[in-house]
Structure 1
């Protein structure tokens, strides 16, 4: 017979949420840094081609 699982504590839930948010923040910072370097033309880790419109 199925038995309900124990409830997750608030502290454990908040810890997991904080880790998730920290990971998302780190990724966002990396993306912003890359975008800034591309706009300045100083990018070394990102290869892209410029297309000139007539």
Structure 2
């Protein structure tokens, strides 16, 4: 027979949400840093081909 699950505490919920947001913020900072380095032409970890024709 199905049993209802226990309610998750507010502290646990907030901790999970904060962890998720921290991870997302870190990824956003990395992406922004990579974009800045590509625009400055200083990127070493990203291959970006510029078409000279256009």
* TM bucket normalised to smaller: over 0.9
Aligned length: 53
Runs of 4+ in 1 over 4 A off after TM superposition: none
**TM-score normalised according to structure 2 size:** 0.95
Q: RMSD of aligned C-alpha atoms? A: 0.5
**TM-score normalised according to structure 1 size:** 0.95
Note the residue ranges of structure 1 that are not aligned, 5 or more in a row: none
Q: Distance in 1 between matches of 2:51 and 2:4?
A: 59
Note the residue ranges of structure 2 that are not aligned, 5 or more in a row: none
The reply on whether 1:2 has 2:2 as its aligned counterpart is yes
